[in-house]
Chain A
Amino acid sequence: MSVALVGTDRRPYHGDLLADAAVELVRRRAGRVPDGEPPPAAAPAREEEQEAVSPAAAARLGAILGGRHPRLLPEWLAVAASTGRRVPPRLLPELLDKGARDRSIRPFLGVLAGRRGRWLAGLNPAWSYLMAEPTGESWELGGHGDRLAYLGELRGSDPGAARRLLEEAWEKETPDDRAEFLALLGEGLSMADEPFLESVLDDRRREVRQQAADLLTRLPGSRLAGRMVERAARCLAVRDDRIMVEPPAECDRGMERDGIRARPPRGTGERAWWLQQVVSRAPLRIWDTALLRMRIPEWDREVRSGWVRATVLQRDPVWAKALFAWDPLADLLAVLPPEDQDELAADFVHRHGVDGQMIMVLGGASTPWGRGLAHAVLTKIRKVAATQPWNLDELARMAGERIAPADRFMADGLTEVSSLLGFRAEMMKELR
Chain B
Amino acid sequence: MVIIIALVAELSEGLASVRQMIERWSQAPQGSRVAPARHARVAAGLSELERWLADQVRHGLAAADEREWAELSRRLVDAQAPGVAGVVGRLGAARSAADWPERLLEVYAMLQLLAVGHRRAADLPDDLARTVRIRVGFPVSREEVLAGPAVRDLWHVVGRREETRDRLVARRVWLRGRTTGRAALVLSFAPVGHALDDSLVTGEVVDASMAFYPGASPLRALVSARHDDVPACHDAPASHDAPASHGAARGGGASPGSAGIASGGVPPGTTEGEALDEVAAALAGDPWTESWPLVLAGVVPSADWLGGLRLHPRVDTPWRLIAVSGGGPLTVAAEWTPRGLVPLTTWDEQGQAVIL
Contact = CB atoms under 8 A, between A and B. Distances in A.
Contact of A18 (B112, B254, B327): B112
A30 B283 contact: yes
Contact of A59 (B58, B60, B112, B252): B252
Contact of B326 (A18, A19, A89): A89
A7 B59 contact: yes
A120 B324 CA distance: 10
Nearest to A95: B323
B51 to A, nearest CB: 12
Contacts of B102: 1
Contact of A68 (B113, B257, B283): B257
Given A42-B327, A120-B323, A22 B283 contact: no
Interface stretch (B38-46, B144-152, B201-209, B307-315): B307-315
B16 interface: no
Interface string B284-302: 1001000000000000101
Nearest to B4: A26
Given A32-B276, A56-B254, A63-B258, A120 B58 contact: no
B281 to A, nearest CB: 8
A90 B348 CA distance: 8
Given A4-B61, A59-B255, A91-B259, A35 B309 contact: yes
B105 interface: yes
B283 A29 contact: yes
Contacts of B283: 26, 29-30
A25 B239 CA distance: 40
Interface string B96-120: 0000011001101110110010000
B256 interface: yes
Contacts of B257: 62-63, 66-68
B112 A93 contact: no
A68 B60 CA distance: 54
B327 A25 contact: no
B227 interface: no
Given A4-B61, A9-B59, A18-B108, A55 B305 contact: no
A240 interface: no
Interface residues of B, number: 63
A343 to B, nearest CB: 38
Nearest to A16: B12
A64 to B, nearest CB: 9
B308 A36 contact: yes
A27 B2 CA distance: 11
Interface string A180-209: 000000000000000000000000000000
Interface string A58-97: 1111110011100000000000000000001111111000
B69 to A, nearest CB: 16
Contact of B302 (A19, A41, A45, A119): A41
B333 to A, nearest CB: 15
Contact of B276 (A19, A25, A34, A37): A34
B198 interface: no
Contacts of B53: 18
Contact of B57 (A4, A26, A32, A58): A4
Chain B CB count within 10 A is highest, among A15, A32, A36, A67, for A32
B300 A41 contact: yes
A21 interface: yes
A10 interface: yes
B62 interface: yes
Interface string B224-261: 00000000000000000000000000001111111110
Given A8-B57, A19-B11, A21-B105, A88 B302 contact: no
B327 A119 contact: yes
A44 interface: yes
A58 B61 contact: no
B265 to A, nearest CB: 16
Contact of B113 (A19, A36, A91): A19
Given A88-B348, A90-B348, A22 B300 contact: no
Nearest to B101: A5
A90 B259 contact: yes
B255 A62 contact: yes
A237 interface: no
Nearest to B273: A34
Nearest to B112: A18
Given A7-B63, A34-B272, A62-B260, A18 B57 contact: yes
B190 to A, nearest CB: 22
A17 B105 CA distance: 10
B219 to A, nearest CB: 16
Nearest to B59: A7
B268 interface: no
A116 B5 CA distance: 51
A66 B309 CA distance: 30
Contact of B8 (A10, A22, A124): A22
Contacts of B305: 35, 38-39
Interface of B: 1, 4-5, 8, 11-12, 53-54, 57-63, 101-102, 105-106, 108-110, 112-113, 116, 252-260, 272-273, 276, 279-280, 283-284, 287, 300, 302, 304-305, 307-310, 317, 319-320, 322-324, 326-328, 338, 348, 350, 354
16 contacts: A4-B105, A8-B57, A9-B58, A18-B53, A19-B12, A22-B287, A32-B279, A34-B276, A34-B308, A35-B309, A38-B302, A38-B305, A45-B326, A59-B254, A60-B255, A93-B320
Given A38-B305, A45-B328, A119-B327, 11 more contacts: A9-B58, A18-B11, A18-B53, A23-B5, A30-B284, A34-B272, A45-B327, A59-B254, A62-B255, A67-B257, A88-B260
